[in-house]
Structure formats: structure tokens, C-alpha cells
């Protein structure tokens, strides 16, 4: 544990040292949020969203790229060090290589989708009829990657069960692939939707990952514990610059990567229901957005004045910082409940 805590500190320091030059680089290449009209999944204007986010125009996005790069670099360098100095490496899975492959592939591949979407929004958004990737194109790419990850979870790590509190273990068999793919895609988009206020999604993820870190440590899974520690260090450094008023945003490159990887970690820990509880704010955000979208699409009217939930609160007069801090507090409570469920099932 001493080595892992040291790596967490190293991750924090590396990101803290590199983030300011990275912000300056983003300003130099004009990789920042543009002052222009945004559109929803139905390609309709979103005036309320634009009203609250107009002041954020000009803030650099793409911070997720730096965090993904630094986290991956430190993680890959840590394992040769551990083997060289004969440090113990334990895993709940017999195939550590497959475990590493699944974590890093999800982390990087979803980030690449987000990076492409960010580039398209910033440099080509004004010339396209649609702002960024079309929803169906983005979803298709996400589903393909999620199915591949779910395939590996099932065939390489032999995961096919879910623990349901008060009921017991349910073996989904081959249908686990579809279930896992759905969870990964859902959380990738849930995180992306939640990442709308300064420090909101990042702070929630930080708290949720600490809960997952406790679970991974309790089952003595070294690769997972190490990966989460490095990821936590990068988020801690980033959050300093992401809280209100934010100096940098994750962008889709970070949001899609972090959401998908959060789901993958929860699935690999075998705590699906804890994943849903601990990530409850993410679930709330995407659920309100989905209800709003379906209502507008098929009923021709809105259920809420605006969605997702954090934007609805903002529209009702809540200050941005108030929403963020209360969401963090709610996540602390949810994390405690999720940990309780994890240890009784």
C-alpha cells in the first residue's frame, strides 16, 4: 500500500506540474469552447443551456487528454518497477494481461472518440449542419467499443454474474455481454451529460473512485488498485483548475473516457449494483435527459423546463457552486451506501 500511495502522489505531482503549460498550449492552438449556438440530440437549439454557458466561452477544453496520457504513462511504467523490485502483485483474475488490456483499452478508445468529437466541434462546428458528431454516429462507435470490452470481460475474465442485494447471484451467461455493453455506453454518456458545471462531474468521480479504491483494496487486486490510485492523483490535480470558475474543462475526450472506464471498473470489481448506487448522480442526470428527449420526440412536449437535472436546478435559481457542492455531498452518502452493499453481497 505504501508503494501505491507513493504512485498516487507521483501522479498528482506530474499532473500538477504539466497542467499549466498544457492550458497555455490549448490557448495557443485555440482549443477552447466557442461562443456559438448549441443543439440537442434532436438538432434543435438549446437557448437555456446557451444562456448559462455563454460565460464559459473561451475556456480551454481537452484537459482529459492530459489526464489520460499521464495516467496511462505512469500505469505502464509502474508494473516493470514492481516486478523489478519483487513487489507483490495480486489479482482476482488469473489473466492479469487481460485485466490490463480491458482497463487501458476502455480508457483510451473512448477518449479517442471524444477527442474526435471535440476537434469537430471546435474547428468544424460552424461549417457543419450539426454541432459535433451526430448522436447516431457517436452511439454506434460507443456500442462497438463497449461490445468489444464486454466480450473480453466475458471470455477473457470469465465474468457472467451480477450480485443482486437481498436476492443473490444471477448468472446471465452469454447475455452478460449485452448487459455490460449497455452499462458502459450508459455511463459514458451519463458522465458526458453531467459534465456541465465547473467541478461537478470531476468531483463526483473523485468521491466515487475512492469508494471503488476501498473495494479493490479489500479484494487485493493490485492492477485495479494501482490504476485507480494513479487516476485519483490526476483528478485531484485537475480538480484544482476545474472548480468554479474553471480554467479548463475535460472535454468529450475526458468525459467519454472517464464515464466508460468508471463502468468498466465497477463491472470488473463485480459490484454492478454498487456501481449504480455510487454513480447515482450520473444515473439521475442521464435519466432526466432521456425522459426529456423521449418526451420531446414522441409527445412533442417537455416534461421539464430543461434537462439534465443540474441545468433544471440552475434554471430554478440555484447557483452553480451550490449545485456542485450538494451533488458532492449526495455522492458521499451514495458512496457509503454503495460500499455497504458491496460488503454485504
Q: For 41-72, how does the pLDDT look when each residue is reduced to its tens digit (9 = 90+)? A: 556 666 676 777 778 888 999 999 999 999 99
How does strand 161-164 pair with strand 168-171? antiparallel
Mean pLDDT for 198-204 is 97
The C-alpha cell at 34 is: 466557442
Nearest-CA neighbor of 152 among 180, 171, 172? 180
Mean pLDDT for 196-210 is 97
Is 252 assigned a ligand-binding role in the annotation? yes
Q: Does the residue 230 lie in any domain?
A: yes
Name the more confident of 250 and 38: 250
For residue range 2-32, list pLDDT tens digits in order.
889 999 999 999 999 999 999 999 999 999 8
How far does Cα 148 stand from its chain's mean position? 18
* pTM, rounded to two decimals: 0.94
Nearest-CA neighbor of 270 among 206, 319, 216? 216
Residue 134: pLDDT band with limits 50, 70, 90? confident
- Residue 130 pLDDT: 45
- Residue 133 pLDDT: 67
Residue 35: pLDDT band with limits 50, 70, 90? low
- Residue 153 pLDDT: 97
- Residue 45 pLDDT: 63
Between 167-171, 215-219, 245-249, 275-279, the lowest mean confidence (pLDDT) is in 167-171
For residue range 255-294, list pLDDT tens digits in order.
999 999 999 999 999 988 999 999 999 999 999 999 998 8
Q: Does the residue 47 lie in any domain?
A: yes
- Residue 127 pLDDT: 45
Between 119-123, 134-138, 180-184, 218-222, the lowest mean confidence (pLDDT) is in 134-138
Q: Does the residue 96 lie in any domain?
A: yes
Between 23-27, 30-34, 171-175, 189-193, the lowest mean confidence (pLDDT) is in 30-34
| Residues sharing a CB contact under 8 Å with residue 177, sequence separation 6 or more, in sequence order | 147, 150, 151, 153, 154
Q: How many domains does the chain have?
A: 1
> What is the 3-state composition of the chain as percent helix, strand, coil, each rounded to the nearest 5?
70, 5, 25
Q: What is the residue range of 187's domain?
A: 2-273
Nearest-CA neighbor of 239 among 279, 209, 275? 209
- CA 64/CA 248 separation, integer angstroms: 10
Q: Is the confidence at residue 166, as pLDDT, over 80?
A: no
Q: Does the residue 336 lie in any domain?
A: no
Is 15 assigned a ligand-binding role in the annotation? no
Q: Does the residue 325 lie in any domain?
A: no
For residue range 99-132, list pLDDT tens digits in order.
999 999 999 999 999 999 999 888 876 444 444 5
- CA 235/CA 66 separation, integer angstroms: 11
Nearest-CA neighbor of 22 among 227, 251, 232? 251
Q: Does the residue 288 lie in any domain?
A: no
Q: Does the residue 343 lie in any domain?
A: no
- CA 57/CA 64 separation, integer angstroms: 18
Q: Contact 281/331 with Cβ under 8 angstroms?
A: yes
Phi-psi domain of 30 (left: phi exceeds 0; alpha: psi -120 through 50; beta: other): left
Mean pLDDT for 137-147 is 95
- CA 210/CA 262 separation, integer angstroms: 12
Q: Does the residue 77 lie in any domain?
A: yes
- CA 325/CA 344 separation, integer angstroms: 29
Angle of CA points 126, 129, 130, to nearest 5°: 90
Q: Contact 229/8 with Cβ under 8 angstroms?
A: yes
Residue 302: pLDDT band with limits 50, 70, 90? confident
- CA 7/CA 282 separation, integer angstroms: 28
Angle of CA points 60, 142, 304, to nearest 5°: 70
Amino acid at each position: 500500500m505504501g508503494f501505491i500511495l507513493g504512485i498516487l502522489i507521483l501522479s498528482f505531482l506530474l499532473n500538477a506540474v504539466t497542467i499549466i503549460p498544457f492550458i497555455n498550449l490549448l490557448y495557443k492552438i485555440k482549443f477552447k469552447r466557442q461562443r456559438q449556438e448549441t443543439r440537442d440530440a434532436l438538432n434543435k437549439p438549446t437557448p437555456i443551456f446557451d444562456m448559462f454557458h455563454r460565460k464559459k466561452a473561451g475556456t480551454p477544453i481537452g484537459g482529459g487528454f492530459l489526464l489520460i496520457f499521464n495516467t496511462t504513462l505512469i500505469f505502464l511504467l509502474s508494473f516493470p518497477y514492481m516486478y523489478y523490485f519483487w513487489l507483490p502483485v495480486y489479482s482476482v483474475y488469473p489473466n492479469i494481461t487481460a485485466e490490463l488490456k480491458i482497463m487501458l483499452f476502455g480508457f483510451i478508445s473512448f477518449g479517442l472518440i471524444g477527442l474526435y468529437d471535440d476537434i469537430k466541434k471546435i474547428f468544424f462546428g460552424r461549417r457543419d449542419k450539426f454541432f459535433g458528431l451526430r448522436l447516431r454516429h457517436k452511439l454506434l462507435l460507443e456500442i462497438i467499443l463497449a461490445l468489444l470490452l464486454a466480450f473480453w470481460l466475458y471470455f477473457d475474465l470469465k465474468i457472467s454474474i451480477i450480485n443482486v442485494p437481498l436476492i443473490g447471484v444471477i448468472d446471465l451467461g452469454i447475455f452478460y455481454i449485452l448487459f455490460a455493453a449497455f452499462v458502459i455506453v450508459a455511463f459514458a454518456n451519463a458522465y458526458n451529460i453531467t459534465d456541465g458545471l465547473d467541478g461537478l462531474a470531476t468531483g463526483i468521480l473523485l468521491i466515487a473512485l475512492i469508494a471503488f479504491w476501498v473495494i479493490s483494496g479489500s479484494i487485493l487486486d493490485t492492477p485495479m488498485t494501482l490504476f485507480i490510485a494513479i487516476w485519483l492523483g490526476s483528478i485531484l490535480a485537475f480538480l484544482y483548475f476545474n472548480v468554479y470558475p474553471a480554467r479548463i474543462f475535460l472535454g468529450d475526450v475526458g468525459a467519454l473516457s472517464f464515464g466508460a472506464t468508471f463502468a468498466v471498473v465497477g463491472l470488473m470489481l463485480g459490484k454492478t449494483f454498487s456501481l449504480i448506487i455510487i454513480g447515482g448522480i450520473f444515473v439521475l442526470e442521464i435519466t432526466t435527459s432521456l425522459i426529456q428527449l423521449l418526451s420531446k420526440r414522441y409527445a412533442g412536449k417537455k416534461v421539464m423546463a430543461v434537462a439534465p437535472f443540474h441545468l433544471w436546478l440552475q434554471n430554478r435559481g440555484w447557483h452553480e457552486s451550490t449545485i456542485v457542492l450538494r451533488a458532492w455531498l449526495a455522492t458521499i452518502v451514495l458512496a457509503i451506501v454503495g460500499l455497504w452493499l458491496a460488503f454485504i453481497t
